[in-house]
Chain A
Amino acid sequence: DGGITQSPKYLFRKEGQNVTLSCEQNLNHDAMYWYRQDPGQGLRLIYYSQIVNDFQKGDIAEGYSVSREKKESFPLTVTSAQKNPTAFYLCASSLGTVTSGANVLTFGAGSRLTVL
Chain B
Amino acid sequence: AQSVTQPDIHITVSEGASLELRCNYSYGATPYLFWYVQSPGQGLQLLLKYFSGDTLVQGIKGFEAEFKRSQSSFNLRKPSVHWSDAAEYFCAVGADNNNDMRFGAGTRLTVKP
Contact = CB atoms under 8 A, between A and B. Distances in A.
Nearest to B39: A109
A45 B106 contact: no
A102 B32 contact: yes
Contacts of A99: 96-97, 99
Interface residues of B, number: 27
Given A40-B105, A45-B100, A48-B99, A103 B45 contact: no
Interface string B32-49: 101010000111111001
B95 A101 contact: yes
A102 B96 CA distance: 7
Contacts, number: 75
B56 interface: no
A103 B103 CA distance: 13
Given A42-B103, A56-B99, 18 more contacts: A4-B43, A40-B9, A40-B105, A42-B90, A44-B103, A45-B101, A48-B100, A99-B96, A101-B32, A101-B95, A103-B32, A103-B101, A104-B34, A105-B36, A105-B101, A109-B41, A109-B42, A112-B41
Interface of B: 4, 9, 31-32, 34, 36, 41-46, 49, 51, 90, 94-101, 103-106
